[in-house]
Amino acid sequence: MKKKILFVAHMDSHIANFHLPYLEWFQRQGYETHVASNSLEKTRDIKYCDVKHQIDFKRSPFSRGNLKAYKQFKRLIKATQYELVHAHTPMGGIFVRMAFRKTRVPVFYTAHGFHFLKGGSKLSWLLYYPVERWLSRYTNEIITINDEDYQIAKKKFNKKCHVTYVPGVGVDLLQYQDISDTKKKEVRSSLGLKDDDFLLVYVAEQTVGKNQMFLIDMMYQLKGKYPNMKLLLIGYGKEATNHKEKIKAFDLEDTVLQLGFRYDIVELTSIADLIVSASLREGLPKALLEALSIGKPMLVTNIRGNKDIVINGFNGCLYEPNDASNFKSYLDLMYHNKELLEQFSTNSKQHAKKFDINRVLKQITLLYDEYLKEGNINE
């Protein structure tokens, strides 16, 4: 009978989008791969997953519905013996460490951006920090995907828990080959854009936290100064309607284009002159990693996660969140300096190698091997 490992996350989509290479690796080592997560569909096949377990996770850790989900999860682990369990997302991390705390199964938890962070609200520290700190005693390995989270976990969490910094879940650089100039012109033309339009692209869910409203305000203030500047907002979300109304009120329909949810993110990113972000909180944003891999200069907020991807003055610029003056000065510098943008582009491709899936996969699988082969288990 094959030995079994378990991956846990709040939603199927998280596993499907970020962790397939790790499930594939376990299969190649001869393990039976199990996934426990919530699915919005009655049946959903996850590649490289041998057995899928439905757990009715609720997003908020304070939802009563999670009592039912926890009972489902406890029944699962009583019925199945696992060699190792790897939790992702806050709910996955809470459930796994609570349920496995009295077992000798090695427990991994990847923090995809703690809900508490430097400069964050007192409420987020009050609600989430004590929980993460307490649960760290029941964790063999915490993997952080940005340096700020690594420093917090290393300094403040239980000393029995080993903390490792890994630069994200990995990016397959081979997916992001150069797109021809002809194709770029076709994409621009399909959107009604001219060859000489200076194009800013922001890929993110439209929410208060992603802060698209700041960029809409900036485009309104700068419209007269840069008449050929355009902004693409790619992604959907709860704030999309508010953004649409603001764009209309500012008479920016020809300047700010809302594209909604798109599958052709790589093509749309490739036509950008500059990738921008106004986000207030990140873990390690996938959209910026993709832009890095394509070789794009960036102008993004100086926050956790972003500053792991963008090195100020090397492959882009970092401005303080909601600082209009800071944003405008960097934008003006980059708008008027084509050579600087070209250098940033070259440097982005160089920096992308740090996040290559092959490097990251090797780093994490070495950790797996350490626990599986040497029997490193909870006391």
Q: What is the mean pLDDT of residues 178-195?
A: 92
- At residue 90, does pLDDT exceed 90? no
Q: What is the mean pLDDT of residues 141-153?
A: 94
Query: What is the rounded CA–CA span in Å between residue 37 and residue 14?
Result: 9
Tens of pLDDT, residue by residue over 103-133, are: 899 999 999 888 777 666 788 788 888 989 9
- At residue 365, does pLDDT exceed 50? yes
In sequence order, what are the beta bridge partners of 222?
Answer: none
Q: Which helix (H) or strand (E) holds 37?
A: strand 32-38
Q: Is there a common fold for 4-170+357-374 and 173-354?
A: yes
Q: What is the mean pLDDT of residues 147-163?
A: 92
Query: What is the rounded CA–CA span in Å between residue 274 and residue 215?
Result: 13
pLDDT at residue 375, rounded to an integer:
53
Contact 47, 23 (CB under 8 A): yes
Q: Position 360: which residue type?
A: V
Q: Is 281 helix (H, G, I), strand (E, B) or coil?
A: coil
Counting residues of the chain whose pLDDT is more than 70, the rounded percentage is 97
Q: What is the mean pLDDT of residues 234-262?
A: 95
Residue in 139, 134, 78, 137 with CA at minimum distance from that of residue 110: 139
> Helix 357-374 crosses helix 20-28 at what angle (to 10 degrees)?
50
Q: What is the mean pLDDT of residues 277-294?
A: 94
pLDDT at residue 377, rounded to an integer:
47
Query: What is the rounded CA–CA span in Å between residue 303 and residue 282?
Result: 7
Q: Residue 119 contacts by C-beta under 8 Å, 6 or more apart in sequence?
A: none
Tens of pLDDT, residue by residue over 207-222, are: 999 999 999 999 999 9
pLDDT at residue 316, rounded to an integer:
98
Query: What is the rounded CA–CA span in Å between residue 75 and residue 267?
Result: 45
Whole-number average pLDDT of the chain: 92
Contact 310, 316 (CB under 8 A): yes
Confidence class for position 348, pLDDT limits 50, 70, 90? very high
Tens of pLDDT, residue by residue over 47-62, are: 999 999 999 988 777 7
Which CATH class name applies to 4-170+357-374? alpha beta
- At residue 41, does pLDDT exceed 70? no
Q: What is the mean pLDDT of residues 9-15?
A: 89
In sequence order, what are the beta bridge partners of 165?
Answer: 144
pLDDT at residue 149, rounded to an integer:
93
Q: Position 7: which residue type?
A: F
- At residue 327, does pLDDT exceed 70? yes
Confidence class for position 192, pLDDT limits 50, 70, 90? very high
Where is pLDDT greater, at 283 or 214? Answer: 214
Residue 304 structure tokens = 């956790």
Q: Is 244 helix (H, G, I), strand (E, B) or coil?
A: helix
First to last CA, the chain: 27
**48-58 as b/e: b if 16+ CB within 10 A:** bbbebbbbebb
Residue in 224, 215, 223 with CA at minimum distance from that of residue 327: 215
Query: What is the rounded CA–CA span in Å between residue 173 and residue 183?
Result: 20
Domain ranges, ordered by start, for the chain? 4-170+357-374, 173-354
CATH numeric code, 173-354 = 3.40.50.2000
Tens of pLDDT, residue by residue over 238-248, are: 999 999 999 99
Range with lowest mean pLDDT among 60-64, 71-75, 111-115, 352-356: 60-64
pLDDT at residue 120, rounded to an integer:
67
